[in-house]
Chain A
């Protein structure tokens, strides 16, 4: 394994081999082989990175040795955060929803400001290894709080992971013509390879690599399409005004509301400005309570790196999230080009012809007038990113680049989720409750065993989700609700736990329980059982927006119960010292 011990040689070397082989295949005109090697070869790169960075200490396995620098952790935060859905579906969701989809953009980014100011540096300074451990220590070593936190972590991470494996399966399947179920199985095998070698230490460096792969892939498709659309005036993100005006003229001609007009459709079952803003706030508050997000703050070198790292993380997330709305406009403009065309002619348009058989684009002449009316063209949100290279007549290899990027996005998030669950199962359950005196070597092996077990279970669930639309629907709903659960169950107590010594164990548990009782019935009722949503100022409050209510109820209940049970006096000196220690500069 000699060469694998030298990261500065091994990692560039594998990239060069990759480009040479893929380039050679492409040059000889063997497009299918070049595509397949490009997609699977990218996985080989990640495996190499994981092997180079392998390690066998618990410190490396659980917290990457706590030596990751600011730009690296920023890349890792960004790829850990941006899922297969962010890459493939975000632009499409905005293309469908317009302004009503923008809560996703601000909601899934601005939470990191709260994380930077209120959480990341303190969590890093706390000396704990996991979020459940942090919660147990803060609630004066009450194991019940840790168990609740681990359960929560598993529910959220597991559903999220299943969604990633479905995305991986669909990307691999669509690209190589193999069944998506097989793709999902392969995806979970890849993740075992990345994470089994060195735990977080391998995963964090694989994520750094995957970030740069995914963002370059996203931008290549975008920049080429932007150049064709002529929106470099002087730069696509601020130069699309003219294109948008053309699109709006077309919308007016067809009697449609403008794409950017606010509140013409619903966001997570709610309507109007109140729901729009509460929805975005709930996503922000939920972000900072998600265990796989918080866990990254444990990996950094020091407090200073935690602060700058979150800044870089949001910058790198922004490179994709600020591009998605422009991507959406490019796609919408592409669609508008075929409105009003004779149906037969529209069916001959290159990208429609290619994607019609997949069902991602649908054409139906409902009124039999032979003309493609606006309502007769429908599309799946994934077509925006996946179909973009065809829509704008880009070279065949752009589609391959997009597939490689989508795979990187899905795998990087899957890596992180699987690690969070593995660490939860090993450190928070096995070591804490079953075998506290385990040796370090054995603990790492138990970790690897848990990893394989968890990956296998999620692969089965992923396969089920691909085959069974009902199961898949519940997975999708749960992913959206994860934010509501996180903001109602975790965020308030974590923040107060750092800043207010008066918060005690009774307050924490009462707050968590109250958060659950307020959030679960509402989102289940409205989301599943057709209960009418509550109305504020004439607008309906959707399931996601309800996360703000859960947050506030948790906050208030935790404060009231803490004060009623003696507040700070109910905390033993160790707990007070734990809170103080987080604030001392280092």
Chain B
């Protein structure tokens, strides 16, 4: 187990943490789309039919929202992974 010393200077770490905080906030804001905003206009989306008869509100909650969430996690993982490699000089 590491003891917390990864040889990163204070200054570099501050910049890294700043970028990371921004990314975290962006991700949480994006998360509110499938968790929240997507379902608010249910009064309208329930009358819209897609894919040969599936009501949009149903498809949003039963399919799109979850796929959206999966995509968010992988995007976050890929970006963080890149930044981790950069800062550690790998």
Q: Are A and B bound to each other?
A: yes
Which 8 pairs, one residue from A and one from B, show the smallest C-beta to C-beta distance?
Answer: A241-B53, A241-B52, A325-B62, A307-B77, A581-B4, A311-B73, A102-B61, A245-B53
Classify chain B: how many residues form its interface, as a range: 35 or more
A273 at the interface (CB under 8 A from B): yes
Whether A311 contacts B74 by the Cβ 8 Å rule is yes
Interface residues of B in 60-86 (CB under 8 A from A): 61-63, 65-67, 69-70, 72-74, 76-77, 80-81, 83-84
Task: Give the CA-CA distance A303 to B81 in the complex, in Å.
Answer: 9
Whether A260 contacts B46 by the Cβ 8 Å rule is yes
Interface residues of A in 224-238 (CB under 8 A from B): 233, 237-238
Classify chain A: how many residues form its interface, as a range: 35 or more
Chain B residue contacts of A237, Cβ below 8 A: 63
Chain B residue contacts of A241, Cβ below 8 A: 49-54
A6 at the interface (CB under 8 A from B): no
A293 at the interface (CB under 8 A from B): no
Task: Give the CA-CA distance A325 to B49 in the complex, in Å.
Answer: 17
Chain A residue contacts of B88, Cβ below 8 A: 585-586
Partner of B31, one of A113, A303, A322: A113
Chain A residue contacts of B67, Cβ below 8 A: 318, 322
B22 at the interface (CB under 8 A from A): no
Per-position contact with B for A8-47: 1 when CB-CB < 8 Å, else 0? 0000000000000000000000000000000000000000
A contacts with B: majority SS: helix
Task: Give the CA-CA distance A261 to B45 in the complex, in Å.
Answer: 11
Name A's B-contacting residues (CB within 8 A).
99, 102, 105-106, 109-110, 112-114, 116-118, 121, 127, 233, 237-242, 244-245, 260-262, 273, 276-277, 280-281, 284, 303-304, 307-308, 310-311, 314-315, 318, 321-322, 325-326, 577, 580-581, 583-586
Whether A262 contacts B69 by the Cβ 8 Å rule is no
Chain A residue contacts of B81, Cβ below 8 A: 304, 307-308
Partner of A116, one of B35, B52, B77: B77
Most chain B beta carbons < 10 A, residue from A117, A280, A311? A117
Chain B residue contacts of A121, Cβ below 8 A: 80
Chain A residue contacts of B84, Cβ below 8 A: 303-304, 585-586
Chain A residue contacts of B80, Cβ below 8 A: 121, 307
